[in-house]
């Protein structure tokens, strides 16, 4: 008995249609699982002072340099090493080691971070032992310390985090630069700038 050509065509079309649908489904990737919010990150400059690692937001750091020649300011605290002229800008030079009550940073092996507030045209040089790296940190990973910290930098500490295998203290550089300790020398820089002209 001969097969009805209409039936054969219809079955072929049906099989072809099923095959096409299967190929289309295989080619269509599954919708990804809805992900949580992307982690908030920030770029930080990591540096070392007396074997402790610190990090500050890169947004406030304009330059990384060697320790420049420094002009001593009379009757200033030991942690204010003096002022320096960096391409026409007069910087107060703050020795972070001395600020912590340690021996002064070496002018030969030490390094300087030139930092400034985002809304002011005033720069400060921070002397540190070493500049380690520029890194990305997940901001949610920065947690308050387990126990309260003491020392001159404690009020300016945002929190602690682990970067690689190191425990890093993250500093709120804006709060430090706006502190009464550092702002008391704005007039010193202005006087030095006037004398330089």
pLDDT in tens, 89-138: 889 999 999 999 999 999 999 999 999 998 888 889 999 999 999 999 88
For residue 135, what are its two tokens?
């890194």
Return the exposure string of 154-184: e unless at least 16 CB atoms fall within 10 Å of the residue's CB, then b: eebbbebbebeeeebbbbbbbebbeeeebee
**What's the CATH number where 97 sits?**
2.40.50.180
Please state, in angstroms and rounded to a whole number, the distance separating the CA atoms of residues 127 and 197: 26
pLDDT in tens, 145-173: 776 677 888 889 999 998 888 899 999 99
**Residue 191: in which H helix or E strand, if any?**
helix 186-196
Number of domains in the chain: 1
Please state, in angstroms and rounded to a whole number, the distance separating the CA atoms of residues 142 and 68: 33
Domain for residue 197, yes or no? no
Please state, in angstroms and rounded to a whole number, the distance separating the CA atoms of residues 102 and 109: 16
pTM value surpassing 0.75: no
> What residue has token string 């090493």?
81
CB 31 within 8 A of CB 113: no
Q: 138 lies in which domain range? A: 41-192
Domain for residue 3, yes or no? no
């Amino acid at each position: 008995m001969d097969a009805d050509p209409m039936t054969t065509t219809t079955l072929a079309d049906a099989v072809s249609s099923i095959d096409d649908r299967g190929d289309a489904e295989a080619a269509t990737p599954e919708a990804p699982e809805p992900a949580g919010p992307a982690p908030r990150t920030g770029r930080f400059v990591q540096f070392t002072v007396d074997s402790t690692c610190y990090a500050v937001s890169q947004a406030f750091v304009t330059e990384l340099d060697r320790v420049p020649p420094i002009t001593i300011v009379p009757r200033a605290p030991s942690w204010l090493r003096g002022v320096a002229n960096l391409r026409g800008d007069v910087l107060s030079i703050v020795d972070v080691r001395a600020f912590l009550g340690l021996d002064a940073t070496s002018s030969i092996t030490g390094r300087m971070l030139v930092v400034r507030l985002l809304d002011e045209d005033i720069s400060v040089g921070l002397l540190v032992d070493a500049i380690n790296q520029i890194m990305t940190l997940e901001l949610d990973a920065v947690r308050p310390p387990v126990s309260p910290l003491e020392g001159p930098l404690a009020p300016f500490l945002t929190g602690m985090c682990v970067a690689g295998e190191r425990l890093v203290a993250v500093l709120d550089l804006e709060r430090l630069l706006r502190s009464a300790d550092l702002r008391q020398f704005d007039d010193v820089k202005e006087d030095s700038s006037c004398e330089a002209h």
